[in-house]
Amino acid sequence: MWKRGRREQREDLNSDRVEKLRDFVYASRVAADRLAAVVRQVDACTEDLHRIAENTSNLQAAIHSQGQAALADLQKTAVATQEVSAAADSITTSVNHIRQQSEATHQRLEEVVSSLSIVERAMEDVTAKVGEIRSHIQGFAHQAGQIQEIHQIIQKTVSQTTLLALNAGIEAARAADHGKGFAVVAAEIRKLAEQGRTALTRSSDILVELESDMQAMLQAAESGEMAVKDGVDQVTRVIKRIVSLADPFSQVNRWSIATSEASRRQSALTAQTNRQTAQAASAIEGVIADVGTILHDMNQQGRHIEALRILGNHLRETSNDLIRAFDAIAGWVQNNPLAIDTHRLTACRDLLISLSREPEIKEMKPEFHRRRLQVFLHEQPDFEAIWSNSPDGSFVFSEPPAGLVNAKERQWWIQAMGGNVYISEPYVSAISHRPTITIAVPIYGELGNIIGCLGADLDLREKPATRQ
């Protein structure tokens, strides 16, 4: 009896040790899996770092080369800008000289216009005077005509006087001695008539010459008046031409002022460009120096990444050795193969499919998923974890919180998003450190398209039907 009791105690002790060893093996297997996951992440990060380092090195080399080219271009730009500045200064000087000459020419044109205006007024006065002279000459011609008429009357009178003297002489001859006195008078009258005829002949010649001279003077006055009018017209046209020339000179003057101001602004902008170019060149030189330093640091980083790669390889080999060792120990500790209740597994699958069809789940909103999945996990003791994912692999909700950021690389997500119901082989859960099975199902939208997935871990240990 005592021996049987000791044997039972030893069996209980061995069973307790085996249970503890089993727990240790499961926990170690989870740790080894986590180490393997860390190694995979380290490998992925190492590859990314190596690729980034290569790309960065190439980019920095290109930046260094482009920086040298940009620096050379900036130096050429600085030289060209200085040439532009010198040309702008030369243009400003030339424009100022043109403006001064234009102003002087404009002033001279104004003086010429003023002088021509005086000449125009003087010629207009001359025209007026010539008109007056022509009027006077016309008056003289008219008076000469009247004198000619009087002269003709006198000539007729002289002719009649001569005829009367002749008749008187004849009558005196007839009267003999009684007519001697009358004969003397007749002789004197005849003498006076002869003198009057002679005077009339001379005055007639003078009147003819005077009339001819008057006509010549009148023609000369008219020609002079026409010439003066032509001169006035020509002076007026010259003034208009000169005034029309003054406008372009004024325009040239305004353009010269505007060009001078533009050249001044261009010189100021060119000077500013020179300063900015110098600053940019200095900045590029600094960047080139920094890029050189970064290239040196990247080379060192490349060596560190290579060392990290080697370390990752060692860790991967170590984690694989640990997994194989713990799997061997687990096979030795586990006396009986893990029995899977297929009816229970099918029921859990159907529960998860039914849950994925609920409207709250199809909304794909975190607050809806949190409320519904927490209630489901509390009501269903067969599940130890539940979660939902978006089409991009991110987690909508997870209880307990997911250890992943994105599940796109996980097989259960790939299968569920492909429209399949995924059921894994038994494995040790990272949450409970106990054997578990993962189930994942797709979530369909109203149009029949897959809008996400729903996943859960089964607790394979015996538990009550409901949680209190």
Instruction: Say whether pLDDT at 332 is over 50.
Output: no
Instruction: Say whether pLDDT at 380 is over 80.
Output: yes
Residue 468: band (very low, low, confident or very high) from pLDDT cuts 50, 70, 90 = very low
* Strand (E) or helix (H) holding 428: strand 427-428
Which range has highest mean pLDDT (235-249, 304-318, 363-377)?
A: 363-377
Q: Which of 168-172, 344-348, 380-384, 385-389 has the lowest mean pLDDT?
A: 168-172
Domains of the chain: 2-90+273-333 (1.10.287), 130-260 (1.10.287.950), 342-459 (3.30.450.20)
Residue 321: band (very low, low, confident or very high) from pLDDT cuts 50, 70, 90 = low
Query: DSSP labels for 89-127?
Result: HHHHHHHHHHHHHHHHHHHHHHHHHHHHHHHHHHHHHHH
User: Could you read off the pLDDT of 8-23 as tens digits, one per residue?
Assistant: 555 554 555 555 655 6
Contact 416, 392 (CB under 8 A): no
Instruction: Say whether pLDDT at 53 is over 80.
Output: no
Instruction: Say whether pLDDT at 337 is over 60.
Output: no
Averaged pLDDT score across all residues of the chain: 74
CB neighbours of residue 45 within 10 Å = 14
* DSSP secondary structure code for residue 380 in this structure: -
Beta bridge partners of 397: 388
Instruction: Say whether pLDDT at 4 is over 80.
Output: no
* DSSP-derived 3-state class of residue 382: coil
Burial 347-382 (b: 16+ CB within 10 A, else e): ebbebbeebbeeeebbebeeebbeebbeebbeebbb
Two structure tokens written together for 293: 């330093």
What does the pLDDT average to over 428-433? Answer: 68
- The better pLDDT of the pair 383, 270 is held by 383
Residue 348: band (very low, low, confident or very high) from pLDDT cuts 50, 70, 90 = very high
Which range has highest mean pLDDT (42-56, 155-169, 268-282, 346-360)?
A: 346-360
* Strand (E) or helix (H) holding 226: helix 180-333
Long-range contacts of the stretch 146-149 (C-beta < 8 A, 24+): 147/207, 148/207, 148/211
Closest CA to 383 of 392, 393, 391, 373: 373
Q: What is the pTM of this model?
A: 0.40
Residue 185: band (very low, low, confident or very high) from pLDDT cuts 50, 70, 90 = confident
User: Could you read off the pLDDT of 215-271 as tens digits, one per residue?
Assistant: 777 777 777 777 777 777 777 777 777 667 666 666 766 766 776 676 677 677 777
pLDDT score, position 355: 97
* Alpha-carbon gap, residue 445 to 442, rounded angstroms: 10
